Amino acid sequence: MLINAEHLLQYQRCKRRPVLDAHGDRPQRAAPNELLLKLQQDKIAHRMSILADLSDNHKPDFPRGDWKAGASATLELMQRGVTYIYRGVLLANYQDLANGEDQDVSLCCEYPEYTFLSRPDLLVKQPGESRFGDWMYVPANIELGKRPKQEYQIVAAFHAQVLTKVQAKIPETAWLLLRSQARNYTVDLSKWIPQMQGILLEFLQALELAEPPEVFISRQKCNLCHWYNQCYAIAQSQQHLSLLPGVTPVRYHQLRALSIHTVESLADTSPVILENLPGFDRTVSPKLIVQAQSVLQKRPFILPNALPREDIIFTSPVEMYFDIEAQPDLDLDYLLGILVVDKQANTETFYSLLAERPEEEELIWQQFLDLVWQYPHAPIYHFCAYEVDTVKRLAKLYQTPNASVRPVLNRFVDVYEQLTKSVVLPIESYALKAIARWLGFEWREKEASGAKCIYWYDQWLETGDRTLLEVIQSYNEDDCRATRNVKDWLVEFVQLNLV
């Protein structure tokens, strides 16, 4: 069986996923969604921009999937001493990996059936002694991220280790080519190879088990996973604790150690039992228990230590609801959506301040300031911190006087913060969509999401297809309206239930 760097990368994110990739029922995998496709396209574009700067750059020629032929073609390029090899093929067995320096030799014969396939983005020729002569190669991987995450460094160590077998010389280093300004990062192999070996061994052991590792649903890691539908169905059928907001892997581990396996048993637990455990404290413990009670009883609860009623939220004759769509790759906030609700005039007006071209960002920023200053006393409701951070960013970027911006920021009210400090709801996530849908609100664009809007805006810039802009604007307006629904519900619930 072939083990590659992708298995190792995924194992660090979720122990279950690469085991399913190896042994799972492939037809149950979902097709890649638009967002995943965009990430793949971005990665290819990033690779190409780096390759464009490299001369004497060669790619081994071999029939698709014939790794032995790929390894021979790569070896031939290495023997010729070309400067760069793009997506070369390196093969080793477990014994080869375990026979290098600092290896646990006792492991070497346990997994003879596995072959390790390494395809570093680049092999870079360097001075040094190897089986080829007075040159050697070091691996370099091109990553979309801006930081040298642990998972990237483990993958780089994997490539370095397989390369050691092929060239009979340990590379002195490995590089990560990141998307930051200082983009070449040097990986400390003496630190990361032993860690990689530990993870690799754990993964091989997981592959030998009859059952894949347990499901643990975490929105961040599961959202882009092709096994999500299958795993989510299992988690729901088990009423798995990971579906409860606030149950992190660390907290889950602690709960299991206390034999708390179900929402019922967590709902019956005293906060004192949890509060000194790793991952818990005096705020988290009661909140998690009330969260379990809320899900169990299918109703919202006021938190025991909720904010005082008068601090929670206020209403006003004119209210504004604000939501932004951004394109992070371009450092661009291209859509500032504002819903103005004038209760006295009984009107609701939505303003969609859109930069059809990135260079129009300053224009919509000025339009935004003009609009919010028309109602100098209206609170500006938003959901989470992004809107505040963006207003600060735009003010700095376009050198807006503090006197124009500070009074506006003072009117911002974060509905998410107010809500999560006051109540718990019988839901799986405190994202705007989950809360508003629990209240019965529906978005007109069923498939839309903030992430998809990033992709659609890119497509608009490329194709000029105006329907994409219309979908984004509709989605953004509904975000503003959903924020309003949540705020109105919170005000009413607090007034009725908090004394």
- Interaction of residue 5 with ligand SF4, rule CB under 6 A: no
Annotate 77-125 with DSSP letters as a single string. HHHHT-SEEES--EEEEHHHHHTSTT--GGGTTT-TT-EEEE--SEEEE
Q: Which stretch binds ligand SF4 (CB under 6 A): 16-24, 154-162, 288-296, 392-400?
A: 16-24
Distance CA 219, CA 23 (A): 23
**Cα dihedral value 52, 58, 61, 66, nearest 10:** -90
| Cβ at position 24, least distance to ligand SF4 in Å | 9
Quick one: which of 439, 329, 382 has its CA closest to 45? Answer: 329
Residue placing its CB nearer to ligand SF4 in the complex, 227 or 457: 227
**Per-residue mark of binding to ligand SF4, 228-267 (x: CB under 6 A):** x--x------------------------------------
Quick one: which of 47, 84, 91 has its CA closest to 66? Answer: 91
Distance CA 99, CA 107 (A): 10
Q: Which stretch binds ligand SF4 (CB under 6 A): 41-49, 212-220, 395-403, 463-471?
A: 212-220
| Cβ at position 439, least distance to ligand SF4 in Å | 27
Considering only residues 86, 192, 216, 280, which one is a binding residue for ligand SF4 as defined by CB under 6 A? 216
| Cβ at position 219, least distance to ligand SF4 in Å | 9
Considering only residues 222, 274, 448, 482, which one is a binding residue for ligand SF4 as defined by CB under 6 A? 222
Distance CA 228, CA 284 (A): 28
Quick one: which of 28, 52, 48, 466 has its CA closest to 227? Answer: 28
Quick one: which of 177, 172, 208, 176 has its CA closest to 193? Answer: 172
Q: How many residues bind ligand SF4 (CB under 6 A)?
A: 13
Quick one: which of 273, 224, 266 has its CA closest to 13? Answer: 224
Considering only residues 215, 338, 432, 482, which one is a binding residue for ligand SF4 as defined by CB under 6 A? 215
- In the beta sheet, which residues pair with residue 351? 338
Distance CA 430, CA 416 (A): 8
Residue placing its CB nearer to ligand SF4 in the complex, 87 or 149: 149
| Cβ at position 481, least distance to ligand SF4 in Å | 31
Considering only residues 8, 20, 454, 480, which one is a binding residue for ligand SF4 as defined by CB under 6 A? 20
Q: Which stretch binds ligand SF4 (CB under 6 A): 196-204, 211-219, 311-319, 489-497?
A: 211-219
CA diameter of the chain: 84
| Cβ at position 222, least distance to ligand SF4 in Å | 3
Distance CA 284, CA 385 (A): 21
Q: Which stretch binds ligand SF4 (CB under 6 A): 9-17, 28-36, 161-169, 191-199?
A: 9-17
Distance CA 427, CA 464 (A): 39
Q: Which stretch binds ligand SF4 (CB under 6 A): 10-18, 47-55, 128-136, 430-438?
A: 10-18
Considering only residues 7, 17, 125, 382, which one is a binding residue for ligand SF4 as defined by CB under 6 A? 17
Distance CA 17, CA 36 (A): 16
Q: Which stretch binds ligand SF4 (CB under 6 A): 121-129, 221-229, 273-281, 352-360?
A: 221-229
- Interaction of residue 225 with ligand SF4, rule CB under 6 A: yes
Considering only residues 16, 119, 159, 240, which one is a binding residue for ligand SF4 as defined by CB under 6 A? 16
- Interaction of residue 411 with ligand SF4, rule CB under 6 A: no
Distance CA 379, CA 388 (A): 13
Residue 237 CB-half CA count within 13 A: 7
Distance CA 269, CA 319 (A): 41
Q: Which stretch binds ligand SF4 (CB under 6 A): 67-75, 194-202, 223-231, 478-486?
A: 223-231
Residue placing its CB nearer to ligand SF4 in the complex, 16 or 452: 16
Q: Which residues bind ligand SF4 (CB under 6 A)?
A: 14, 16-17, 20, 215-217, 221-222, 225, 227-228, 231
